[in-house]
Amino acid sequence: MSANEKVFCANCNHCVVVRQKEGEDGKYILRVRCDKKKWSKRSGEEKLYKYFTVARRMQPNCEAYQEMGELLPFVKNLKRELPIKDEVYVPRAMRAI
DSSP SS3 for 35: coil
pLDDT of residue 4: 58
What range does the domain containing 46 cover?
A: 7-95
For range 22-36, the mean pLDDT = 90
Of 2 and 60, the one with more pLDDT: 60
> At residue 92, what are phi and psi to the nearest 5 degrees?
-55, -40
pLDDT, tens only, 46-96: 999 988 888 888 888 899 999 988 888 888 888 888 888 888 888 876 555
pLDDT band at 43 (very low <50, low <70, confident <90, very high): very high
- C-alpha 33/C-alpha 20 separation (Å) is 11
The sign of the dihedral angle between the CA atoms of 75, 80, 85, 91 is negative
Overall number of domains in the chain: 1
Cα gap 71→52, rounded to integer Å = 16
Asked if residue 2 is part of any domain, the answer here is no
The amino acid sitting at 82 is: L
Query: Is residue 1 in some structural domain?
Result: no
CB-CB neighbours of 20 under 10 Å? 11
Q: Is residue 85 part of a domain?
A: yes
